[in-house]
């Protein structure tokens, strides 16, 4: 075997192959981070996931889940911000939560949203629904909803009913 061929083979074995495995693992991990089971795997999230599955809860999350208004990836669908980089940034934020869970970062005393909940997360599904667009109370505040000056969750509460 020539020296050039040996160097190429070593490059493939020690650089290209691990990089491809790492990229595949990263992609698979990001895909799995969209599932409710990912959120449920952290005991800190147990109260929120319990509420989601609770058929007697009147929370927005539970009603959406139990009525199958969102078919898959219920946590992710509502919590992912839907700009160009929204899904990636949401998953990176999820990884921050994982780092906190495993003790790599300081655990806050109470779980809170890190930024205001954007209306676009709700409007991605509801914004095109005739029932939403024609309801007088929504028509009256549509401009403020679209500009995030009034939050959907001002009226539509509770998001989760969490027992701590």
What pLDDT was estimated at residue 122?
Answer: 92
Mean pLDDT of 37-55: 86
What pLDDT was estimated at residue 61?
Answer: 93
Q: Provide CB contacts within 8 A for 66, sequence distance 6+.
A: 53, 54, 55
Task: Check whether residue 104 and residue 26 sit in a common domain.
Answer: no
Is 45 a domain residue?
yes
Task: Check whether residue 69 and residue 113 sit in a common domain.
Answer: yes
Task: Check whether residue 83 and residue 16 sit in a common domain.
Answer: no
Supply the pTM of this predicted model. Answer: 0.66
Mean pLDDT of 111-133: 85
How many Å apart are CA 20 and CA 79, to the nearest integer? 29
Is 163 a domain residue?
no
Mean pLDDT of 68-78: 87
Q: Is the peptide bond before 158 cis (omega within 30 degrees of 0)?
A: yes
Is 161 a domain residue?
no
Number of domains the chain is built from: 2
Q: Which domain holds residue 67?
A: 35-155
Task: Check whether residue 45 and residue 80 sit in a common domain.
Answer: yes
What pLDDT was estimated at residue 51?
Answer: 93
Residue of higher predicted confidence among 110 and 96? 96
Is residue 156 scored above 80 in pLDDT? yes
Buried b / exposed e across 34-72, counting CB within 10 Å, b at 16+? bebebbbebeebeebbbbbebeebebbbbebbeeeeeee
What pLDDT was estimated at residue 11?
Answer: 75
Residue of higher predicted confidence among 6 and 54? 54
Half-sphere CA count of 31, side-chain side, radius 13 A:
6
């Amino acid at each position: 075997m020539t020296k050039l061929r040996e160097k190429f083979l070593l490059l493939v074995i020690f650089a290209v192959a691990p990089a491809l495995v790492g990229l595949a693992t990263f992609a698979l991990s990001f895909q799995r981070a969209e599932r409710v089971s990912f959120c449920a795997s952290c005991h800190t999230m147990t109260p929120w996931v319990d509420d989601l599955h609770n058929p007697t809860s009147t929370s927005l999350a539970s009603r959406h889940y139990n009525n199958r208004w969102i078919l898959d990836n219920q946590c992710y669908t509502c919590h992912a911000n839907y700009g160009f980089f929204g899904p990636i940034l949401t998953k990176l934020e999820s990884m921050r939560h994982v780092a906190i869970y495993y003790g790599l970062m300081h655990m806050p005393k109470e779980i809170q949203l890190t930024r205001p909940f954007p209306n676009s997360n709700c409007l991605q599904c509801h914004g095109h629904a005739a029932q939403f667009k024609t309801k007088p109370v929504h028509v009256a505040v549509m401009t403020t909803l679209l500009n995030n000056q009034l939050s959907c969750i001002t009226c539509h509460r509770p998001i989760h009913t969490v027992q701590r």
